[in-house]
Amino acid sequence: MYSFTKPKRKPYFKEDTKLWLIFYFISFFLFISFALFLLIKSYLYTKDSQKLNTQIISLKQQIIKLNNQKDIINLEKTLYENILVQNSVIKTSIKNLLDLIPDPITLDKFLLSKNKLIIYGITPTKDVYNLLMLPPLESIFESTTTYFYQLPNGWYRFKSINTIKATNENAFN
C-alpha cells in the first residue's frame, strides 16, 4: 500500500498529557516550595519563641525584684508614717504639757519617757505649785511625787516625778 502523505513521527505524549504533566509539575513545585516556606517559617517561629521565652524569664525575674523593692518601699513608707504620727502625738503632748505650766512657775527641764515624766523647775512657794500645777498632773498621771529644795532667795526648786498608768501609755508614744 501506498499512502499519499508522509508518515509523521508519533509524539511520546499527546497534547492533553503534556498539559496535564505541566500542571502536575507546577503543582508539585508549588507544593514543595510551600513546604519549604512552612519549614523556614516554623524554624523562625521557634527561634523567636525561644527569644521570647528568655525575655519572659528575665522579665519575671525583674518583676520579682520590683515587687520586693515595692514591698520594701511600702514598709519604709509605713514606718515613716508611723514615725510622723508618733512625732505628731509627742508634739501635741509636749504642747499640752507646756500649756499646763502656770505663769508663776518656771521650768528648767523635763524628761519624757514612755510612762514617766520628770519635771525640774522653780516655784515661788510650795502652795503655788500645789494649787496650780499639782491638780492637772494628778489628773493625768497615776502617781505624782514632788521634792522641794529651798533656794537662798526664798523660792523653791522642785523635782516632780510623774508615772502614767499602763493603759494610758499611748499618751506619750
Dihedral angle over CA of 6, 7, 9, 15, nearest 10: 90
Same domain, 37 and 91: yes
Number of domain units in the chain:
2
For residue 172, which amino acid is it? F
CB of 84 within 8 A of CB of 171? no
Is residue 90 over pLDDT 80?
no
Give the start-end residues of each E strand in 89-166: 106-112, 116-123, 143-150, 156-163
Tell me the CATH number at 144: 3.30.1360
Asked if 85 and 112 sit in the same domain, the reply is: no
Please indicate, yes or no, if residue 10 is contained in any of the structural domains.
Answer: no
What domain range is 38 assigned to?
A: 15-95
Q: Which of 62, 95, 128 is the last residue of a domain?
A: 95
For the chain, percent helix, then strand, then coil, each to nearest 5? 60, 20, 20
Q: Tens of pLDDT along 146-164?
A: 999 999 998 999 999 988 7
Residues 6+ apart with CB under 8 A from 98: 107
Residues 89 and 127 in one domain: no
For 39-78, write each residue's pLDDT tens digit: 999 999 999 999 999 999 999 999 999 999 999 999 999 9
